[in-house]
């Protein structure tokens, strides 16, 4: 299958310099190559994933691509990852009947329109936001619990989320702002809304390069309408401000607008993204504020960026583990 992989890689390299219309035509060819790999007996899921990962790096929404990725993961027995890619398919193409049916078959949470929502109950809010997020349950619970504590403390700053994807955690944060915070307290939702940027050599998991894990460039994508529609359902659309673009570009321009920060949710995954978050925003985080870093225990680049940041400032910060992936800490007084 080396020739197929090499062909896919060459095609992507050519398409990266082409306009969107040409990229879409190229995506059709890549999609067909991946379908052919999965239709073999037995299915060649590794080749299919390689092709799809390259296609995702083009950052052009294409119906069926994430559904096909879910099928490839299922053939490898990786159901949890298949569920996440079905959700990613439905963020862009909510009318994809096959994706919705497979999601339900696998026991995934199906989107619904909530009625009156009791945000004092984590379980009630969880049922609404879960289809919109890839964040693990323990990290959602931690974010919910500590956001309530920060808001109850009266810390006078805004809330910032760097890494929005489908918008589930933004919905959680905005709902709590709507219930507990003064009207002028806002949530800034920072994301490219076109998927992850290119990883660096630092970005690995257990020594495996990010683009080879299935979670590389162009993944974790969703349109702005995903977080907007969720916040509209929750009645808190007026609480959010969308900041679109890569953190290295947007945060230097937005940090003065954002102002003091009472809570920072850093879900940037990569080394350069995490570095940009802390270099641009940490000095605006108020003493005693809550900071959650979602990928410290998973992505080596994320961990390195945060460790380097602390070392450069000669800071001794106690990190509290949430699960195998996430950590949190409070900014020292």
Tens of each residue's pLDDT in the chain, 333 residues: 557 777 777 777 777 777 878 888 888 888 998 999 999 989 999 999 989 988 898 888 999 999 999 999 999 999 999 999 999 999 999 999 999 999 999 887 666 545 556 666 899 999 999 999 999 999 999 999 999 999 999 999 999 999 999 999 999 999 999 999 999 999 999 999 999 999 999 999 999 999 988 889 999 999 999 999 999 999 999 999 999 999 999 999 999 999 999 999 999 999 999 999 999 999 999 999 999 999 999 999 999 999 999 999 999 999 999 999 999 999 998
CATH number at residue 36: 1.25.40.10
> What's residue 325's pLDDT?
95
Full domain range(s) for residue 11? 2-105
Which two three-digit tokens encode residue 8? 């896919």
CATH number at residue 248: 3.40.50.150
Instruction: For residues 135 and 95, state if they share a domain.
Output: no
Say which DSSP state 110 is in.
P
Query: Which residues are CB-neighbours of 82 under 8 A, at least 6 positions away?
Result: 69, 70, 71, 73, 74, 106
Nearest to 214 by CA among 72, 42, 89, 59: 72
C-alpha to C-alpha distance for 332 and 23, rounded to whole angstroms: 48
Compute the C-alpha angle 248/252/256, nearest 5°: 150
Nearest to 84 by CA among 130, 51, 50, 32: 130
Q: Are 214 and 52 in contact (CB under 8 A)?
A: no
**For 264, phi and psi rounded to 5 degrees?**
-125, 125
Instruction: For residues 170 and 253, state if they share a domain.
Output: yes
**115 in any annotated domain:** no
Instruction: For residues 54 and 181, state if they share a domain.
Output: no
Torsional class of 218: left (φ above 0), alpha (ψ -120 to 50), beta (otherwise): left
C-alpha to C-alpha distance for 85 and 68, rounded to whole angstroms: 9
Which two three-digit tokens encode residue 199? 């990883």
Instruction: For residues 176 and 42, state if they share a domain.
Output: no
Domain boundary among 56, 71, 105: 105
Query: Which residues are CB-neighbours of 84 under 8 A, at least 6 positions away?
Result: 134
**215 in any annotated domain:** yes
The structural domain count of the chain equals 2
> What's residue 322's pLDDT?
97
To the question of pTM greater than 0.85 for the whole model, the response is yes
**12 in any annotated domain:** yes
Which CB contacts under 8 angstroms, 24+ apart, belong to 135-138? 135/168, 135/169, 135/267, 135/294, 135/326, 136/323, 136/325, 136/326, 138/322, 138/323, 138/326
Of the chain, the end-to-end C-alpha distance in Å amounts to: 57
Q: Do β-strands 204-205 and 208-209 pair in parallel, antiparallel, or remain unpaired? A: antiparallel
Question: For the CA atoms of the chain, what is the radius of gyration?
Answer: 20
Instruction: For residues 163 and 84, state if they share a domain.
Output: no
> What's residue 111's pLDDT?
62
Instruction: For residues 161 and 299, state if they share a domain.
Output: yes
Domain boundary among 105, 134, 155: 105
Nearest to 259 by CA among 293, 285, 290, 289: 285
Domain boundary among 54, 74, 105: 105
**116 in any annotated domain:** no
Instruction: For residues 72 and 140, state if they share a domain.
Output: no
Strand ranges inside the chain, DSSP E: 158-162, 187-191, 204-205, 208-209, 240-244, 261-266, 285-293, 320-321, 327-330
**264 in any annotated domain:** yes
Instruction: For residues 126 and 98, state if they share a domain.
Output: no
> What's residue 13's pLDDT?
79
Instruction: For residues 150 and 84, state if they share a domain.
Output: no
Instruction: For residues 238 and 94, state if they share a domain.
Output: no
């Amino acid at each position: 299958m080396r020739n197929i992989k090499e062909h896919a890689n060459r095609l992507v390299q050519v398409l990266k310099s082409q306009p969107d219309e040409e990229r879409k035509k190229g995506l059709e060819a890549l999609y067909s190559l991946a379908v052919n790999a999965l239709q073999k007996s037995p299915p060649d899921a590794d080749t299919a994933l390689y092709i799809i990962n390259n296609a995702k790096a083009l950052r052009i929404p294409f119906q069926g691509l994430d559904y096909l990725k879910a099928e490839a993961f299922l053939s490898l027995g990786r159901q949890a990852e298949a569920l996440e890619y079905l959700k990613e398919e439905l963020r862009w193409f909510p009318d994809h009947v096959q994706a919705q049916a497979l999601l339900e078959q696998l026991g995934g949470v199906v989107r619904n329109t909530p009625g009156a929502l009791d945000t004092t109950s984590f379980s009630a809010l969880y049922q609404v936001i879960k289809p919109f997020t890839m964040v693990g349950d323990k990290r959602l619970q931690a974010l919910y619990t500590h956001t309530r504590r920060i808001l109850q403390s009266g810390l006078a700053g805004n809330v910032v989320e760097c890494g929005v994807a489908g918008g589930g955690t933004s919905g959680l944060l905005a709902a709590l702002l709507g219930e507990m915070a003064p009207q002028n307290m806002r949530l800034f939702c920072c994301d490219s809304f076109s998927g992850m940027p290119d990883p660096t050599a630092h970005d690995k998991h257990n020594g495996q390069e990010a683009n080879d894990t299935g979670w590389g460039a162009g993944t974790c994508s969703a349109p702005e309408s995903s977080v907007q529609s969720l916040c509209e359902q929750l009645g808190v659309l007026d609480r959010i401000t969308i900041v679109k673009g890569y953190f290295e570009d947007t945060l230097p321009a937005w940090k003065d607008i954002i102002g003091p920060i009472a809570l920072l949710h850093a879900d940037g995954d990569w080394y350069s993204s995490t570095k940009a978050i802390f270099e641009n925003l940490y000095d605006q985080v108020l003493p005693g504020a809550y900071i959650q870093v979602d990928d410290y225990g998973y992505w080596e680049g994320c961990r390195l960026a945060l460790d380097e940041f602390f070392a450069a400032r000669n800071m001794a910060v106690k990190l509290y583990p949430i699960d195998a992936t996430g950590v949190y800490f409070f900014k020292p007084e």
